[in-house]
Chains A and B, each alone.
Chain A
Amino acid sequence: EPEVTQTPSHQVTQMGQEVILRCVPISNHLYFYWYRQILGQKVEFLVSFYNNEISEKSEIFDDQFSVERPDGSNFTLKIRSTKLEDSAMYFCATRQGTEQYFGPGTRLTVT
């Protein structure tokens, strides 16, 4: 069964550094999402992406965040200057019809 993959599985970075989280969507899916989950809390929507542009973003998705699809296969989330509070699991999700399929996540730890 096709699945969403994410790399790295765990990223440790120092405060102020830039990180790039990568996702490989399911091949025929056209809608891409990033969500985050702070430890022990619910999953929160960050941004949706369709047709090479952001279609919707949450208030969490401020100017330090950006997304792109650099090569037609990967879908990336960049955090320009990480803060301690960015420590969380970041999930990529993709969909074609109604159902969203989630990747296994990247655990980001900011020290």
Chain B
Amino acid sequence: QQQVKQSPQSLIVQKGGISIINCAYENTAFDYFPWYQQFPGKGPALLIAIRPDVSEKKEGRFTISFNKSAKQFSLHIMDSQPGDSATYFCAAPPRKLTFGTGTRLTIIP
């Protein structure tokens, strides 16, 4: 099974700070890299995704950075807010999603 390795497992960031979550993948055939956000008791919701033909994608406060040669991609949350407190999963696409182990993000005032 293709592995998707995610770090850190948990992250505490002060309100207004930058949250950074990293993901590494193995299969160079992957062509789509999503990040999902999950609140307790809810299903994962697509947050942002990138294709490997670009190195960065920004949507509001959320940015994906993609490093094809290193087979890594990361999620940056700028100006982190308490409402961003959730578990974040990277995943490998798209026919079936292989999820990373998740990062529990807590934003403190």
Residues of A within 8 A of B (CB): 4, 31, 33, 35, 41-45, 48, 55-56, 58, 91, 93, 95, 98-105
Contact = CB atoms under 8 A, between A and B. Distances in A.
Contacts of B97: 33, 35, 43, 45, 93, 100
Contacts, number: 54
Interface string B78-99: 0000000000010001111111
Given A55-B95, A56-B95, 20 more contacts: A33-B96, A35-B97, A42-B89, A42-B101, A42-B102, A43-B44, A45-B97, A45-B98, A56-B96, A91-B43, A93-B43, A98-B49, A98-B93, A98-B94, A100-B46, A100-B97, A102-B36, A103-B43, A105-B42, A105-B43
Q: Interface residues of B: mostly helix, strand, loop or mixed?
A: loop
Interface residues of B, number: 22
Contacts of A45: 96-98
